[in-house]
Amino acid sequence: MRFCFVIESFYCNTGSLLSNRLSNNSLVEMTSNSNLNDIDIFIGSFLSFNQLSLDSQFVDALFIKGELALAGGLLFKTNDVSIGASCCADFQDWINIVKDVKRKISPWMGHDPSPWFEFKDENIILWSNEGKLNHHNTIMFTQQEFDYELLEAKKELYCFLNIFKLWAKKNYDINPERLFAGIQNYLLI
C-alpha cells in the first residue's frame, strides 16, 4: 500500500501550456519520478482549470485562500486498487482528509463516486463509493500505516516541488522564486 499526491489533467483550450499532450481524466503522480513534462501538465491543468495565464495575476492568486482550484489530492493505492478524490474535491482538501481520519471521521472526498472511510478497531477501511453496495473496492490500513504513508507522500511531493523549481526558472522569467513560493503555499506544504 502507498499514498501519493496526484493532479487530474484538465484541458479546456484556454491557450495554456498544454498542447495535445494529455487526455481528459488522466492522473499525474507528483513524485520524485516526475519529469518536466509532468510539470507542464500540472501547471497547464492548473491554469486551464482556473482559466488563467501564467502571469502575475495567477501567481498572486496562489497566495489567496480559496481563490484557485485544482482537481486532485491524495491517492490511496494497493497493488490492484486505487482510490482518490473525485468530482468537486479540490487538491487542498487533502489537509481536511488527514485531520478527519486522525479524528476517526469519514472526510468528504467528492461525489460520483463518493469515497468514504470506515473505522473498525485499529483498522481504517477506505471504500471506493459509499453509494454502491455492489462492486466496491476497499483498501485497509492502520492509523500507523496511514501516518507513515502520508509522510512518504509528503516527501515525494517535496521532490516534485524541486523539479517544479527547475521548471519555474526555465519557464517563468518574471519571478520564478515567487511562483515557486506560491505553488508551495497552494499545495499546503
The pLDDT tens digits for 97-119 are 999 999 999 999 999 899 999 99
Report cis status (omega within 30 of 0) of the bond before 107.
no
Residue 40 has pLDDT above 70, yes or no: yes
Residue 25, amino acid: N
**Per-residue pLDDT at 90 exceeds 60:** yes
The predicted pLDDT at position 134 comes to: 63
Q: Which of 85, 77, 124 lies closest to 101 in space, CA to CA?
A: 124
Other C-beta atoms lying within 10 Å of the C-beta of residue 130: 16
pTM of the model: 0.89
pLDDT digits (tens, 9 = 90+) for 43-60: 999 999 999 999 999 999
At 1 the pLDDT is 77
Pairing of strands 27-29, 2-8: antiparallel
Classified as helix, coil or strand, 25 is coil
* Range picked from 20-24, 41-45, 177-181 for highest mean pLDDT: 177-181
Q: Is the pLDDT of residue 15 over 60?
A: no
**Residue 133 pLDDT grade (very low, low, confident, very high; cuts 50, 70, 90):** low
- In sign, the C-alpha dihedral spanning 176, 157, 5, 26 is positive
Contact partners, residue 14, CB within 8 Å, separation at least 6: 47, 48, 51, 52, 53
Reply yes or no on whether the pLDDT at 78 is more than 60. Answer: yes
Q: What is residue 130's predicted lDDT score, i.e. its pLDDT?
A: 81
Please give the angle made by the CA atoms of 8, 12 and 16, to the nearest 5 degrees: 90
Is the pLDDT at 132 greater than 70? The verdict is no
Residue 122 has pLDDT above 70, yes or no: yes
Largest Cα separation within the chain, whole Å, is 53
Beta-carbon-side half-sphere exposure of residue 49 (alpha carbons within 13 Å): 21
